[in-house]
Amino acid sequence: METTRLGVLISGRGSNMRAIVEACRGGRVPAAVAVVVSNKASAAGLEWAREQGIPTRVLPHRGHGSREEHDAAVVAALREHGVEWVCLAGYMRLLSADFVEAYPGRILNIHPSLLPAFPGLDAQRQALEYGVKVSGCTVHLVDAELDHGPIVVQRPVPVLEGDSVVTLSARILEQEHLAYPEALALLLGGGWGLEGRRVRLDVDPG
């Protein structure tokens, strides 16, 4: 099976990036991470990627023009490395419409809630404050709206008595590390298509 070239965008520790890299190298995902891009030079995940021999790029967004101009620079870096699919892994930037159009249907994001519940920042805190009994994580295709695109994989995580943002976040993160490679394997391993908002995985690729 042909290996797909992935570009991973991070803003911090990059633990989901690491899960993706390890899944690719372990043969669970038919892909390879071609480049890791961050909008923050201080992102801890960059050091790990460099230690693994993965090319990295730092493209700060502050003081570098409009969102569209910054996104154009990121897309140029991705194309320079032959990236076919983009994985947002803790990338704390809302993508412009131009970015989404550059990789239509080929951008994935992971969010620490069962979307459409609790989009945006502090999803775990939102879940606790609302009093839900089950939270989780969602891998979805990216469109021009925040945490909105079609859902590929969801994994539930029970909310326990006495949970804090820290404890709930840690258990959700464990499931994120499983959900992201699962979603990539599903989309890259065979035919899929969209039926309205529903991702269909039984579509003949021919």
- What six digits make up the tokens of 20? 């993706």
Catalytic residue among 61, 64, 81, 111: 111
- My answer on whether omega of the bond before 116 falls inside 30° of 0, hence cis, is yes
- Assess contact for 119 and 147: CB atoms under 8 A: yes
Mark out the alpha helices in the chain (DSSP H runs): 15-25, 44-51, 67-80, 97-102, 123-130, 165-188
- Assess contact for 187 and 200: CB atoms under 8 A: no
Helix or strand (DSSP H, E) at 106: none
The SS3 of residue 185 is helix
Residue 81 among the catalytic residues: no
The rounded distance, in Å, linking the Cα atoms of 189 and 176 is: 19
- Assess contact for 141 and 152: CB atoms under 8 A: yes
- Strand partners of residue 22: none
Q: Which residues are catalytic?
A: 111
